[in-house]
Amino acid sequence: MFGYMGKILRINLTTGVVSKEDLDFDLAKKYIGGRGLGTKLYMDEVDPQVDPFAAENKIVFINGPLSGTATPTGGRYMVVTKSPLTGCIASSNSGGHWGAYLKYAGYDAVIVEGKASLPVYINIEDDKVEILPALDLWGKYVSETSAALREKHPESKVLTIGPAGEKLSQMGCIMNEDDRAAGRSGVGAVMGSKNLKAITVNGTKKPEIANPDGLKAVTKECRTLIKENGVTGGGLPTYGTAVLVNIINEHGVYPMNNFQSGYDPDAEAVSGETLTEKYLVKRNPCHHCPIGCGRWVKSEKHPDGIGGPEYETIWVFAGDLGIDDMDIVIDANFWCNELGLDTISAGATLAAAMELYQRGYITDELLDDDVILKFGNADSVIHWLKKMGNREGFGDLLARGSYRLADFFGVPEYSMSVKKQDLPAYDPRGIQGMGLQYATSNRGGCHVRGYLISPEILGLPEKLDRFELAGKPAWVKIFQDLTAVIDSLGLCLFTSFALGAKEYADMINETLGTEWTPEDLLLAGERIWNLEKLFNLEAGVSPEEDTLPPRFLEEEMPDGPSKGWVHKLDVLLPLYYAERGWDADGIPTEERLEALGLL
């Protein structure tokens, strides 16, 4: 068996039984690995109607066939479970080194089931797998937990949750190596519900490669393409993802004050250029990554340096809250990482709370005269993040995410979310394809299920008219399918700025000894997309939830270069369903499912 390690580790926290099972190679090839195979393994074992916090729910940590190989960025892993935030399938992806180390320990996936009676962590060192007590770690911040576990297992990589996951915040994320996050959809809370604090992993094995010389040659070629590409060899390494602040803002789709407008005249204060000039210490790359978009930064509060903020994090704690202060952004990023909170959802929930305050739903009285949650109030950010992560006072309500918060006041329309997951940093009114992708994303509001920003704003691989509707459903479908492939291979999505389906097919073929064409890969991506959709339907997530908050459909963008636009989802959605071969109600047809091998 090439590429894969051929073993799945199953750990039952109720019984304490650990078992090792053979990987079904045919199944693995059909669903590739990572997001695809993880979803298939999960769906074969778990009732989609399961309560995400029940012991019957499971959580799958899975790498891809290219994780742990020398391929560029080959080190990622995916966390697959049912999301307590959305009720949809959650596939949350993280970089760093943990995913590659799981492979080196000899496993393609770890399936954790049941629930421990007391807090535990799992230690994996090659064949040695232990469930160990973690009472002393429960309640600790992420860096404290990682440091304590590194002392016990110095060679291992640590994946852990923070207080937010322990306290079942629907925004609880999973952190590895302190500053890398499987951020979205509340996967950390599922770990918390199982009393599982952390997983440490180390190993000494390597995957066998079908054609080592061929893979070496293809890897070299791909690295050259990445190096010579203006984005992956220039913009991203130099400025990080924060370089997007200015370009998104100049197109008038940089959401301000909970998406009440789309242009920030003071965005320069939190731009990638400013971050680079005033705060950057060095790059902070993931495993085998020649791009190195990750940042290591210093600020007044963090003079020893910490992992720096990504674009989405900068936006959500700056523009979305009406505060343009990079020091606050860096501190907010730090506290989200320590508490184990998804930065996008945590910031977006503060933004929704600020709009609810602006409109009189949240009052000073309700806040018990605590710090006012008001746009522009810099003092509120860290104060309320800590209360959110620790579920103290009004923070308990905030910890449920913007949708449940706004719904509590009877006005869910002030939550800028899709399927209860908060939207990222692009106003869909000025980017019609991106809006369609938000509405149809299988994990709810998300930019990395199909990054239409590439063609609609950045001109990659070609510039599309961002307001045009014609052709957009086809673009959305192909971006969604290709992304599902990359997420399943175990590579970083950012490689796709330089590489195409042909390069991915070359890498996988040399690794597995297959002869897949780019079309075969895209078909596998479509299969994965449809599989996720089937899960959501069986979980009771109706296609009626394939929509956008009313603000984007009814309120014209008030200012900036996207002024006057609303999102035309009513036109695009039926065309998208047709493009996917689904019926008019958004249900995959038997014919399509059969063609994809899903029946």
| Contact call for residues 432 and 468 (beta carbons, < 8 A) | yes
Using CB under 8 A as the binding rule, whether residue 311 contacts other proteins is answered as yes
Rounded alpha-carbon distances, angstroms, from residue 83 to 274, 535, 548: 36, 12, 19
Using CB under 8 A as the binding rule, whether residue 335 contacts other proteins is answered as no
DSSP conformation class of 562? G
Binding mask 485-504 for ligand SF4 (x = CB under 6 A): -------x-x----------
Rounded alpha-carbon distances, angstroms, from residue 25 to 1, 2, 338, 454, 522: 7, 9, 38, 34, 19
Q: Strand 421-422 to strand 417-418: parallel, antiparallel, or no bridges (unpaired)? A: antiparallel
For residue 236, the minimal CB distance to other proteins (Å) is 6
Q: Tell which positions 432-451 bind other proteins, by CB under 8 A.
A: 447-448, 451
Binding residues with other proteins: total (CB under 8 A):
43
Q: Which of 453, 485, 534, 593 binds other proteins (CB under 8 A)?
A: 453
Q: Which of 78, 111, 457, 522 binds other proteins (CB under 8 A)?
A: 457
Nearest CB to ligand SF4, comparing residues 66 and 572 = 66
| Contact call for residues 13 and 192 (beta carbons, < 8 A) | no
Binding residues with ligand SF4: total (CB under 6 A):
11
- If one counts every other C-beta atom within 10 angstroms of the C-beta of residue 152, the result is 12
Using CB under 6 A as the binding rule, whether residue 285 contacts ligand SF4 is answered as yes
Burial class (CB in 10 A: 0-12, 13-18, 19+), 368: exposed
Q: Which of 28, 142, 218, 289 binds ligand SF4 (CB under 6 A)?
A: 289
For residue 75, the minimal CB distance to other proteins (Å) is 18
Quick one: what does residue 549 bind among ligand SF4, other proteins, none, with the CB cut-off 5 to 8 Å set by partner type?
none
Query: Strands, E, within 64-206: which ranges?
Result: 77-82, 89-94, 109-113, 120-125, 128-133, 157-160, 174-176, 180-182, 196-202
DSSP conformation class of 309? P
Using CB under 6 A as the binding rule, whether residue 286 contacts ligand SF4 is answered as yes
Q: Which of 58, 64, 57, 97 is closest to 78 using CA atoms?
A: 64
CA 37 distance to own-chain centroid = 17
For residue 147, the minimal CB distance to other proteins (Å) is 30
Using CB under 6 A as the binding rule, whether residue 307 contacts ligand SF4 is answered as no
In DSSP terms, which residues pair with 283 in a beta bridge? 295
Q: Tell which positions 71-130 bind ligand SF4, by CB under 6 A.
A: 73, 95
Nearest CB to ligand SF4, comparing residues 93 and 195 = 93
Nearest CB to other proteins, comparing residues 207 and 235 = 235
| Span from 73-81, 213-221, 225-233, 364-372 in contact with other proteins (CB under 8 A) | 225-233
Nearest CB to ligand SF4, comparing residues 6 and 233 = 233
Q: Which of 126, 130, 144, 273 binds other proteins (CB under 8 A)?
A: 273
Rounded alpha-carbon distances, angstroms, from residue 416 to 512, 549, 590: 42, 6, 34
Q: DSSP 3-state assignment of 369?
A: coil
The whole-angstrom separation of Cα 305 and Cα 440 is 39
Q: Which of 528, 541, 520 is closest to 91 using CA atoms?
A: 528
Tokens representing 385?
């993040």
Using CB under 6 A as the binding rule, whether residue 292 contacts ligand SF4 is answered as yes
Nearest CB to ligand SF4, comparing residues 73 and 337 = 73
Q: Which of 413, 463, 474, 517 binds other proteins (CB under 8 A)?
A: 463
Quick one: what does residue 565 bind among other proteins, ligand SF4, none, with the CB cut-off 5 to 8 Å set by partner type?
none
| Span from 214-222, 286-294, 320-328, 477-485 in contact with ligand SF4 (CB under 6 A) | 286-294
Using CB under 8 A as the binding rule, whether residue 293 contacts other proteins is answered as yes
Nearest CB to other proteins, comparing residues 156 and 232 = 232
Query: Strands, E, within 96-213: which ranges?
Result: 109-113, 120-125, 128-133, 157-160, 174-176, 180-182, 196-202
Q: Which of 191, 20, 32, 24 is closest to 512 using CA atoms?
A: 32
Q: Which residues bind ligand SF4 (CB under 6 A)?
A: 73, 95, 285-286, 289, 291-294, 492, 494
Q: Which residues bind other proteins (CB under 8 A)?
A: 229-231, 234-236, 238-244, 246-247, 250-252, 268, 272-273, 293, 310-312, 447-448, 451, 453-454, 457-460, 462-463, 465-466, 493-494, 497, 560-561
